[in-house]
Amino acid sequence: MQFPAAQIALLIGGKVDGDPIVSVSSFGKIEEAKKGQLAFLANPKYEEHLYTTQASIIIVNETQELKQAIEATLIRVPDAYTAFATLLSKYQEIVAQQLVGIQEPSYISKTATLGEKIFIGAFAYIGENVCIGNNVKIHPNVYIANNVKIDDNSILHAGVKIYHDCVIGKNVTVHAGTVIGSDGFGFAPQDDGSFKKVPQIGNVVVEDFVEIGANATIDRATIGSTVIKSGAKLDNLIQIAHNVEVGNNTVIAAQAGVSGSTKIGNNVMIGGQAGIVGHLQIADGSRINAQSGVTKSIKTPNAAVTGSPAFEYTNALRSQAVSRKLPEIEKRLKELEALVKQLLEEKV
């Protein structure tokens, strides 16, 4: 498919600087793009490629000044990176709309309800009383257990597993290999040293506009729901335990883990490999640095923490700076002790 500059500018709210009818059919990095491709420039570090790239169309910030003439057509926007992300989303929508129909072999229960313009890939399993909305895309080898609800425009990539009674909202994307609704880690210790399993009879609710990366696991609640609220973004290889709540527009990077019944607020940022123990409250806007171990609730909104155990970010940096000077401090302390000893001896 060919897309002219004028049409692209209309999609992303930009202004064409150059030939409005020049067209592109694919994307490329600005340093590698060829004729017929679209690129973008958001980072000034790559500005030199603006004058050497072969890209036919380049999305740039509206404030971008040219130091020399270029051949490409520019589309000027307030924020080039955001505009490029918007364009890629539109492109994905166009591609997804072409996926329609049910491939064979696949199993679909007679009691399942299917919306319009859906796609179900080969070897998918759709259980009893499943409700699937319009424009949902279910890729090969997806397993959807009984009583699951999946709302409009959601995408489940290959190998996703959704256990019974879970709810997936609108415009949700779940990447390959992720498991939603597996049992929470609940075991009651017994007098003989063994552990008795506590049945997990709740579910998982994933609200609208959530994206979940590949090979993540989100456990069902013991009672009630584990909730991923609207707009949250979860990276690959994340563990969310039973009865956790992840707030609106919260982002969690890869390999992080959240223990049971912790409540994470809105607009929280959690770095990779961070760990949060159970039954904590994480205030809105909190920032948890990568590899931090959070053992206490964060009650102050917009606070930043780091370290293990994690504590206030600025104080943590000061502590790290002091720790690097410990050998020097020890030397000075010994010198002071010797001086004090000498003064005391002279006084006597």
Mind telling me the catalytic residues?
242
Give the closest residue to 162 by CA, choosing from 129, 135, 127.
127
Taking the C-alpha atoms of residue 18 and residue 55, their distance in angstroms, rounded to an integer, is 13
Taking the C-alpha atoms of residue 26 and residue 34, their distance in angstroms, rounded to an integer, is 9
Taking the C-alpha atoms of residue 325 and residue 18, their distance in angstroms, rounded to an integer, is 58
Chain position carrying tokens 């591609």: 95
Taking the C-alpha atoms of residue 123 and residue 149, their distance in angstroms, rounded to an integer, is 19
Taking the C-alpha atoms of residue 89 and residue 81, their distance in angstroms, rounded to an integer, is 12
Give the amino acid at 286: S
> Cβ–Cβ contacts within 10 Å for residue 191, how many?
5
- Asked if omega into 199 is within 30° of 0 (cis), the reply is no
**Bridge partner residues of 126 (DSSP):** 108, 144
Chain position carrying tokens 């780091």: 306
Beta strands 239-240 and 179-182 are unpaired
